[in-house]
Amino acid sequence: MIRAAALVAGDGAMLQGILDSIYFKEFPDFKLEAVICPRKEDYAMVRAIRAEIPSFVVDPDLFPTSISHSMAVANKLKDMDIELVLIAGYDVSLGVIPYQFKNRIISTIPCLIPAFEDLDSDSDVVAAAIERGVKLTGATAYFVSEDGGIGGIISQRAIPVLQNDTTETLKARITEECEWKLMSNAVSLYCEGRLSFRGNRVFIKESNG
């Protein structure tokens, strides 16, 4: 059984995709043991509580530095014997967490890496796609690198940018049509033991089924 935790924030849209995949039993041998959020008022916490997932707030304002905050989160994850960490809209620094969970943190970004990977936020990434007039965008699922950046790419999914798209409509479509599916697939592959590394590249083993 893979013991997992989700680091969440904001409206919890990415968390909802994970919860839906759990409901429809898309993850083999998987249990979401906890949701950790930096703020108790974020709607992501409401989603977790409604789904009866143990939920914890680790408030960065209670710590002197971002590093000490990330150490508290990492210790919480280790105390719960968490193997796999899912990033679902988490918006504070990961700090030391990737060092302690190397190749065990899965996240998504709403672009086709390497496009726009140097931008700071998901909204900036989506806005840049519209401003540049790209015809295709999408999302990338990846393992978080030790420095908290984009490590080995697991999979990507593309959708067209529509002429009447706004940042809001495009972001919503990328979340629902790309990120949810990519996260679900990545977690399933991890649970099945089908992901492996060769250097910095991620390879997917063929299914025995």
Burial of residue 177, with CB atoms counted within 10 A of its CB: 0-12 exposed, 13-18 middle, 19 or more buried:
middle
Considering the chain, what percentage of its residues have pLDDT values greater than 90?
94
What's the total number of domains in the chain?
1
Strand order across the beta sheet in which 136-144 lies: 55-57, 30-37, 2-8, 84-88, 105-109, 136-144, 150-160
Question: Using DSSP, how many helices (H) and how many strands (E) does the chain show?
Answer: 7, 9
pLDDT at 167 over 60: yes
* Dihedral sign, Cα of residue 38, residue 126, residue 140, residue 51: positive
Q: Which of these ranges, 28-37, 84-93, 113-122, has the smallest mean pLDDT?
A: 113-122
Q: What is the mean pLDDT of residues 140-154?
A: 97
What does DSSP say about strands 55-57 and 30-37: parallel, antiparallel, or unpaired?
parallel
Question: How high is the pLDDT of residue 46?
Answer: 97
What is the C-alpha separation between 37 and 39, in angstroms, rounded? 6
In this structure, is residue 152 part of a structural domain?
yes
In this structure, is residue 180 part of a structural domain?
yes
Q: Amino acid identity of 61?
A: D
- pTM score: 0.96
| Residue 120, number of CB atoms within 10 A of its CB | 7
In this structure, is residue 108 part of a structural domain?
yes
What is the C-alpha separation between 87 and 73, in angstroms, rounded? 13
CATH number at residue 123: 3.40.50.170
In this structure, is residue 62 part of a structural domain?
yes
CA 142 to centroid of chain Cα atoms: 8
What is the C-alpha separation between 112 and 114, in angstroms, rounded? 6
Structural tokens at position 128? 């840049």
What is the C-alpha separation between 12 and 54, in angstroms, rounded? 15
In this structure, is residue 209 part of a structural domain?
no
What is the C-alpha separation between 102 and 45, in angstroms, rounded? 26
Q: What is the pLDDT of residues 76-106, one digit of tens each?
A: 999 999 999 999 999 999 999 999 999 999 9
**Domain of residue 23, residue span:** 2-204
